[in-house]
Each structure stands twice: as C-alpha cells, then as structure tokens.
Structure 1
Amino acid sequence: MVINTVLSLMACNYPPEKLTVYLSDDGWSDLTFYALLEASHFSKHWIPFCKKFSIEPRSPAAYFSSITNSVDDHLSKSKKFLSIKKLFEEMEHRINTAMKLGRISNEIKAQHKGFSEWDSGSSPRDHQTIVQILIDGRDQEAIDIEGSQLPSLIYLSREKRPEHHHNFKAGAMNSLIRVSANISNGSVILNVDCDMYSNNSESVRDALCFLMDEKEGQEIAFVQYPQCFINITKNDIYASSLRVEFPGLDGYGGPLYVGTGCFHRRETLCGKKYMKGYKFEFIEGFKRKEGSVSELEESSKFLANCVYEKGTQWGNEMGLKYGCAVEDVITGLAIQCRGWKSVFFNPTRQGFMGLPPTTLSQTLVQHKRWAEGDLQILLSKHGPLIHGFGKMKLGQQMGYHVYLLWAPSCFVFLYYLVVPPLYLLNGVSLFPKVSSPWFLPFAYVIVTVNYYSMVEFLQCGGTILAWWNEQRIWLFKRTTSYLFGFIDTIFKLVGFSKSAFDITVKVTELDVSQRYEQEIMEFGSPSPMFTILATLAMLHIFSLIWVFKWLFSSSFKGLALEALFLQVVMVSVMVLINLPVYHSMFFRKDKGRMPASVTIKATLFALLLCAMFYY
C-alpha cells in the first residue's frame, strides 16, 4: 500500500528534477525501508512506462487492477505491459515474503548501507533519526531505463525517546518540513497519507495553477483536494464519502485543511503572515546544500531529533500545531487567521484515492478523534470566533463551527432519542396534536430539512439508499463518537487524562472485507459504543411494541393517537434506522454479529430505563 502511494507520486506528470518524494516512517520499520528500496528499483521501469503510455492511475496496484477488468484494452495484450506487470508482481512477492518472515535477511541487508541503522538496542519508541537518500535527483546516474532523470526519493524516521513527547502526526510532519528544507527546499509541499495514492498525474500542475495565478494566487496558502476512496460500496454503508461537506466554504475564504491531499506554500506552513503586495517566488529546481549524499543525510539528522524544537516556535507559530487531536484543522485555521485564503479543488478526475474505514468500530473511533479535536479548538483561544475575529469572514467562522460543534450536539440527539420513547410509554405527549396549528412548524421543519438534505445528497452523486445510510451513521456518531469525544475532552481539560492519538486501521481481514463489500455492518467487538447503540435500539423497539399493544387494547382512543402522533413517527423511524442493529443482535451468526454480552447488557439497560419511567 505504502509503495504504491510512493510510486504514484514519483510518476506525476511533472519535471522529475523538481520533484522529491519523502516517506516519513513513524513506525521505524526496516521492512518499510526495504519496501521503499524495492520501489526505488522498480521506479526505473514504472515511470517511463507511465509517461510513454499516459497511464492513469499511476499506482501500479490500482492500474493493474483496473486494466484487468478492461478486456478490450489493447495495451493489456502488449509485451511491454506484460513485462512491467511481471516486474511488479515479482517485487510484490519479495516484499510479501519479507513481511511474512517478519525480518530482513542478511543477503538483502548487504544491498544497502541504510539497513545498518536498525540496531538491536533500538525499538520503534526509542531510536535515533534515520535519513536515507535512496535516489539522488542531482546525480547524473539517477536515471530510468530510457535515460531520463528520476525524481529524488528519501526515507525519514525521526528520533524518538521515551522521555520526550513526540506530538504524534504533527511532530512527524514538522520534522519532515525541516529535513526537506535542508535537502530539497521546494517552494510547495504536498502531503498525503500512506494510503492516499495519486489518481491524477496532473494534480501538481493543477494546484500550481492556483498558487501561481497572477491575479488571485498570491493570497492562496493551500489547495485542498477532497478525500476520495477506492472501495466505497455502492450505497456507502459507513457514510465515508463526505460528499457535501467542503464546497460551501470556498466562497468565504476557503475550506479547512484536512490533513491529506493538500498543497501548501512552504513559507505559509512555516508561519509567514499575508501582506498586501506579497509576491510568491517559485523556486525553479532546488536550492539544495552542497555536499555528498552522506553529508546531506548527516546534516539532516539533527533537524529531526527530539531536542531540536526546544525553545523554538515549532508546533506553535511554525509548522503544524501541537496539543490538538486534529492538528490539520487547527493548523489550517491558524494559516487563514494570518490573512491567507485556501482553495477547494475537486477535478473531474479525482486527485487522490484512499481507503475508508471498513468497519463500524473504525468509523466511530475515527469520528471520536475528530470530534474531540474540534471541541478542543472550540474551547481554546484558537477558536474561529475568538482568534478569527476580524481576520476571517463571518461565513467562514460559522462554517468551521459546523465541525467544532459536533461533540456538544450529542446531548441534543441523546435527549430526542431517550425522552420521547420513555414518555410514550406513559402516553404523555411532548409535541402538538395533528389538529393543532402548532403542528405545522414541526411538520415543515421535519419535511424541509430531510427533503433538502436528500436532494443535495443526490445532486452530489449519491443514491437514495446511500442517503439513508448517511442518516443512520450520523445518528450512530452523534450518540457515541461525539459523546465519548466530549467526555474525553472535558477530562483532559481538568487533567484527568492525557492526549492520545487514535490511529485509523488501514489493513482489514478477509472475512471483514467480504462483509463490507456485501454492505453488512460490522459489530464484532464488545465496544462501549455498541452498548449505547444497542441500548437505544432496544429502548425504541420496546416503546414501539407498547404502542402496538396499546392500539389494539380496549382503552385505545383516537384522540390519544392524534396527540402522540409525532412521537410514534419518531420512534418508528428510529426502529427502521436501527434494523441492522436488531439483525446483528438476534439473527446473524457470522463473526460480525453483535457480541452476546453487549446484547444482554443493552437489553437489561433498556428494560431498566422503561421500568424506571413507566408508572
């Protein structure tokens, strides 16, 4: 996965002498280094092949997967295609073999001096800085099989020590910014996650068209591409594709920085303020320090060690900001508060493609981290209303709050999901009767909001069922992810817990993948979040059962139903939304079903709630 991303970036349609690709390996893995070494050899064949035949996408795995399904493609029958595919499969086999063994053989270690950096006394949490230039773009011998220059390729693993806080992804990015300044010092920095391969070879040129525009380009700090995914199911079961989230901010000064698929001006990322009359100087080629590869590697190591940032503004006024679970959002906000604008660019051919969460647990954990970080921003001095006052448009400040208020919104939804069904058990009406004039505003809001949401979703390329799945996932997130995010944030503010970083899993087991492709929800872990979901689901089904019992009883009166109509509708809709939860609790037999312990606890909790409120 990682080397496919690297190769897709190395093969961008851009002058190779002006392009350097860095791999920041925060896991300090010699297996990753070995895979990158293999990729450096394969790139000599892959890059000229891509440029000669105008290949898209330029991730080998994605390309070969797509062309296999195109039976009529004449290129798939050519000798060149078969030759390059064979080379890729051989490389893939070597890497997978090393992964299965879990170590690098002595024979492979002899191929490159970089393997000596992994000594027996180190570990992923306690090791020195590693900087290895695998391809030096200055070297006349760094050429592909057709004699053309190759882009530079560099491996970095920053120093880590147990006694020094490493600041998660933000710390890794800041180390990378400094090391890249010493080696290549490009004016524009693109950062992508390890699974976000380049799907459009023109992405670099497209971004530069914004940054170098003579009229408006001087005030643009970064160009943000949307996060797109390769294996989204037809009806997007986990609502991973945020179809309608970002375009609306473009007219108010620009979208958020979302951590991947983003082109930055180096100087704005390092703290430069926008000033009228500013002129962007694009560096042709690199202003690289003189010296041999070994000298460059050694001089760069100090920039990525644990003590370099001590007494500096790194993590505060320079680079990505520290102390927030969403370092990307708060960094983009700080850049915009310095007077810069951003651009959201969504071309016809998507720029970058990645892997979405393939289980419900992954989705909820990811959104917990996002909600937690967004709330940290809201409660800090860096919030858009305080820090952005007079520096940002009101519409842009409000746009940020769509995300910053995710966590607090959980209490509103919990109230609407708990109180109405409990009061329904006692026949207590919380809303106006159908015959009352006050019923109309409620009906208007319910119909209009959902109709508008559905139309907007369909216009952005979704399906009706995908829209329904999105409503379900929003409900799940608001009652679990955002609740836990809110609680964790408050605990951290009062000093009860420390900051952590929830990593999104990128590798999925085969049976989980198969259920995901069949759009079967995954509940196969005893998560506290699932206990909440199951309890709410059981509360609504008990309430609806009571309604049916009441409807068929001799004491039923039509006037009572008229008064309780909206509550009955609300409970019925919640039961429909929770159908996958009921199915996983009582009917499924696969490993992705709801654990029996969660089912029992949820049923007991729901019965206890009903018993407490029924009189």
Structure 2
Amino acid sequence: MFMQVGFLYFCVLEDYFTGFTLHRKGWKSVYLYPKRPQFLGTATTNFNEASIQWTRWISGLTSVAISRFCPLICGPLKMSLVHLMCYLEVACMPLLYCLSIWGFALIPQLCLFNGIPLYPKISDSNFNIFSIIFISAISKSLYEVVTTGDQFRVWKNEWRIWMVRCVTCYTYGSLDAILDKLGMKEASFLPTNKVTDDEQVKLYEMGIFDFRAATMFLAPLVTVILVNFAAFVGAVFKALVVDDNGDRYWEKMFGQMFLSFYILVSNYAIIEGMIIRKDKASIPLSATLWSVVFSVFILVIGSVILC
C-alpha cells in the first residue's frame, strides 16, 4: 500500500479505501451538493462500458471486504459505530447481493419447474409476511426516488438496472476479487470509453436499451429470463391443463409464479431486445443461443437434484 497524489492505492477502488482510511483516523468530510454545478465530467454512455466500470468498482469493494482492511476487522479508531456499519455495508453489499439475487432468480423457479412449493399458500396467514417484506422493499426504494425529486420512471429503471448489475457486474466483480485473493489472477483494471456516440444518444433519448455488449454480460441476463419463462409457462400449463385440481395448484404455487412473472415484467426490455427488436442494438443471436444452452443445463441439473 502506498500513497500517490493524496490517494491510497490498495485496491482498484482507491476513493472508497482512501475515504475509509481517513475517516478511521479522525478526518471529517463535508457533503457538498450545491444547486449550481461545480464540476463538469463525462460518464459511460452504453451498457457495455457501464458494466465494465461497475465490475471494476465491485472488484475494489469486494477486495476490501475480504482483506485485512475489512471494516469489520479493521476496527474504528475515531469512527462511530454507525459510520463503520455504513462502510461495512458498502464493502459487503456486492457479494451478498449477487448471491441472494442469483438465489431468488433461480432456486424458486427450479422448484416451481419441478412442482415443489417453497412459500406458504396464498390462503395461509403466513403468506402475509412475505407480502409485507416484498411491498416494503418496493415502497422504500420508490419513496427514496420520489423524495429526491425524480419520477416513477426513474425508479423503474433504477430497480431494473439494480437487478441487472447483481447478476452481471456484482458477480464478475466479486469473482475477480476472490480469484485475486486466492492468487489465481490479478484484479483487472479495464479503462472505459466515455466518448459520446450520436446513435447511442438517440437510443437513450428514446428510452431504448443498447445491448451491444460482450456476451459475458448478456448471457447471464438472458439465461435468467429463459429459466423464469420456462418455469412460469410450465406452471401455468400445469395449472390449466395437466393438473386436475388447478385451483389448489395456483394457491400453493402463487408466490413462486408471481416472483417469476415479476422478474419477467420488470425485465421486459431484455425480452424485447432478444425477441422483438431487430436493430443493431438488440441482443445478438449468438448470446441468445448460448443462454439457451445455459438455461437448459440449469433446468436439467435442477431437476436431477430436486427430483
């Protein structure tokens, strides 16, 4: 660890690590957010570059979380417990989020695909607990967006991109940091392109996703969509056609069916880019085919384990 021009370079996310170290030593910071912009900068302008940038950030956070500088281990000298918990939450968030979201995106769906209920029946009073937790999480994020002056559309996009990042950037970034910790590879620092492209700007202004990205970022997204689609369609078919007592099947599988349906609706842009759109910015056929292979593999392995 050494210092250059005021930053501590222990990981690829030097600003987080520098801030944590300075606050731990008693430095005080001020949140400056003037009405008149004080600085002018550029950001990534497409999905591929943004994913690369977020993967780098997540790698830096996870590398701190699993190192001797983890806020849980590197105790506070002059920091409050609440301040320490904030740093700990930020450092551990990527790894915990990617594991939990992958679990919610696949495990209930695999059980649904094989007719195994995980949640209480909709008529069971215990089902209200899961409903309250789900509604509370949605309401909290919506409240934060609205109270900061943004609109419902912003909340919808932020919620969707959070799920996208969890199965892509959070996963790859955490894996990159873990492999670096094990000595199997060095943490990567890939520069991002921030040059504005007129075609990308036009798509952005139209609210259309630009899916011209590496397959490593597209395949997990499409795979999750395909697994959820297969589980949801299979459950509906079984409830309407195969199962003689369809009402009871809907009742015991409603929680898992709703979860799959919610994931599909929230990520309709991915379905649109995969099936409906035919422009240059749609999801390439090669990424879709690879995702079909991955999703079939997941469904087969899940069925073998659960049956």
Structure-2 residue corresponding to 1:400: 87
Distance 2:205 2:42 in 1: 13
More helix by share: 2
Report the CA distance shift for 1:491/1:613 in structure 2 as closer, same or farther (over 3 A): closer
Greater shift, 564-573 or 521-530, is seen at 521-530
Q: Per-residue CA shift, 1:149-199, capped at 9, x if unaligned?
A: xxxxxxxxxxxxxxxxxxxxxxxxxxxxxxxxxxxxxxxxxxxxxxxxxxx
Aligned partner of 1:18 in structure 2 is: none
Cα-to-partner distance string for 1:443-465 (whole Å, 9 max, x where unaligned): 11111121121011111111111
Moved more, 468-477 or 603-612: 603-612
Residue aligning to 1:363: 50
Please list the CA deviations of residues 369-427 of structure 1 after superposition, one character each: whole Å capped at 9, or x if unmatched: 11110111112222223334242111111111232123312111101101111110122
Where do residues 547-586 of structure 1 align in structure 2 (5 Å cutoff)? Answer: 547-555=235-243, 556-586=245-275
Residue 607 (structure 1) aligns with: 296
Does the Cα contact within 8 Å between 2:240 and 2:246 map onto a contact in 1?
A: no
Q: Compare CA radii of gyration and give the structure with the larger one.
A: 1
Distance 2:242 2:234 in 1: 14
Alignment partners' CA distance in 1, 2:300 and 2:70: 43
Can you give the 5+ residue segments of structure 1 that lack an aligned partner in the other structure? 1-312
Superposed CA deviations along residues 294-326 of structure 1, whole A, max 9, x for unmatched, are: xxxxxxxxxxxxxxxxxxx8428x831123010
Percent sequence identity over matched residues? 27
1:380 equivalenced with 2:67 (yes/no): yes
The equivalent residue for 1:242 is none
Distance 1:346 1:319, change over 3 A: closer
Q: Which one-letter code corresponds to 1:414 in the other structure? A: W
User: What's the counterpart of residue 286 of structure 2?
Assistant: 597
Matched, 1:536 2:224: yes
Look up the SS of the partner of 2:6 in the other structure: coil
2:196 is matched with 508
What SS does the corresponding residue of 1:391 show, helix, strand or coil?
coil
How many angstroms apart in 2 are the aligned matches of 1:524 and 1:612? 30
Q: Which residue of 2 aligns with 1:425?
A: 113
Letter in 1 for 2:125: P
Q: In 2, Cα distance between the equivalents of 1:353 and 1:572?
A: 41
Alpha carbons 2:68, 2:74 under 8 Å: kept? yes
TM-score normalised to structure 2 length:
0.92
User: Structure 1 residue 554: deviation in Å?
Assistant: 5.0
CA distance in 2, matches of 1:506, 1:465: 25
SS in 2 for 1:583: helix
Q: Which structure exhibits the higher relative contact order, with contacts defined as CA atoms closer than 8 Å and separated by 6 or more residues?
A: 2
Name which of 382, 387, 391 aligns with 2:78. 391
Matched to 1:356, the amino acid is: A
The answer on 1:354 being equivalent to 2:59 is no
Displacement of 1:587 in angstroms is: 1.7
Q: d(CA) in 1 for partners of 2:265 and 2:127?
A: 23
* Structure 1 equivalent of residue 174 of structure 2: 486
Q: Secondary structure in 1 aligned to 2:30?
A: strand
Say whether the 8 Å CA contact 1:406–1:478 is kept in structure 2: no
**Counterpart secondary structure, 1:552:** helix
Amino acid in the other structure paired with 2:3: G
TM-score, normalised by the number of residues in structure 1: 0.47
CA shift digits 1:542-569 (9 cap, x unpaired) = 1121122123215243122111111111
Amino acid at match of 2:249: A
After superposition, the C-alpha distances for 1:16-53 in whole angstroms (9 at most, x for unaligned) are xxxxxxxxxxxxxxxxxxxxxxxxxxxxxxxxxxxxxx
Return the match for 1:472 from 153, 160, 165. 160
Q: 1:611, CA displacement in angstroms?
A: 3.3
**RMSD between aligned residues:** 1.9
1:523 pairs, out of 176, 194, 211, with: 211
One-letter code of the match for 1:588? R
- Kept after mapping to 1: 8 A contact 2:72/2:88: no
Partner of 1:71: none
Alpha-carbon distance in 2 for matches of 1:500, 1:377: 15
Q: Which amino acid aligns with 1:585?
A: M
1:312-360 residue CA offsets vs partner (Å, 9 max, x unmatched) = x8428x8311230101110111111111111112122233343332212
CA contact (8 A) 2:23 2:79 kept: yes
> Partners in 1 of 2:280 and 2:38 — Cα distance?
36
- Which of structure 1's runs of 4+ aligned residues deviate more than 4 A? none
Post-superposition offset of 1:527: 2.5
Q: Is the Cα contact below 8 Å between 1:334 and 1:382 reproduced in 2?
A: no
Write the distance in 1 (CA, Å) between the matches of 2:172 and 2:299: 24
Shift of the alpha carbon at 1:578?
A: 1.9
